[in-house]
Amino acid sequence: MSRTPAESLSSSSHGARHVAIIMDGNGRWAKRRGMPRTVGHRAGVNALKRTVEAAPTLGVEWLTVFGFSTENWSRPASEVSELMGLLKSYVQSDLARLEREGVRVHIIGRRHGLAQDILDIIQHAEARTRDNDRFHLQVAFNYGGRADIAEAALRYARDVAAGRASTDVTDEALFGSYLSTAASPPPDLIIRTSGERRLSNFLLWEAAYAELVFQDVMWPDYGPDALSAAIAEFKSRDRRFGGVDSNDVLASR
């Protein structure tokens, strides 16, 4: 998770290897059309399919999407159950294709509190795609950045108590390995749609040096063009990771 300055400089010259998206605006998209929010969520699944298809063609290797937050339980029960159902139907309808296309599926977030049928489908999707590595699709479901950090701290403390980890050093990389995102590199680019400009508890630890891009498009209208525009914006940024501009490094030699 932590980088040396050399790694930082070399990664800054690359594209957006890991893109994470806060898929927002389904409800407003539907409302503007005089339709119930659930229609927006269903249209959002089609946007997700378009985006997953486009991402590898734009140089993305990891795509993390925020599907359901630990705070989304406060929505009406009917909407929560619609969102649960959509995760199930998305996996059921697309898993064979994802598996065939070399996509490895990872689901991050709290498993506790999810119904058995959802747990079964998550486990099935991860097991069936375990040997794939052409592209990684990471779905944050029942995920909250704070909950993830708090749970990592608890597991770390348990390992210390059991003598499996030491308290002599504070090691960011070791702590990062306790997070549910441990398998993925840190996100290079975090996108939020719908015009809102906040993280809403997404990837709090991992976002440390991510570039943030906010787009006004509502999630159901998202697709290859919007993703490509976000990546173009990312490429125009100068990532310094606390160092100096890469041109300044050359100039000072």
Please list the active-site residues.
24, 72
What three-state secondary structure class fits 101? coil
Give Cα separations from 170 to 79, 166, 173, 175, 242 (angstroms).
42, 9, 9, 8, 20
Q: Which does 72 bind (CB under 5 to 8 A by kind): Mg ion, ligand IPE, none?
A: ligand IPE
Q: Does 25 bind ligand IPE (CB under 6 A)?
A: yes
Of 68 and 234, nearer to ligand IPE (C-beta) is: 68
The residue written with tokens 């009406």 in the block is 76
Q: Does 72 bind ligand IPE (CB under 6 A)?
A: yes
Termini Cα distance of the chain: 28
| Residue 189 region by backbone torsions, left for phi larger than 0, else alpha for psi between -120 and 50, else beta | beta
Sites for ligand IPE among residues 158-187 (CB under 6 A): none
Question: For residue 155, what is the DSSP state?
Answer: H
Biggest CA pair distance of the chain: 62
Sites for ligand IPE among residues 109-168 (CB under 6 A): none
What is the pattern of x (binds Mg ion, CB under 5 A) and - over residues 19-48?
-----x------------------------
Q: Could you tell me the smallest distance in angstroms from the CB atom of residue 24 to Mg ion?
A: 4
What is the pattern of x (binds ligand IPE, CB under 6 A) and - over residues 194-213?
x-x-x-x-------------
Q: DSSP letter string over 73-95? A: GGS-HHHHHHHHHHHHHHHHHHH
Q: Interface residues with ligand IPE (CB under 6 A)? A: 22-28, 66-69, 72, 83, 194, 196, 198, 200, 219
Q: Interface residues with Mg ion (CB under 5 A)? A: 24
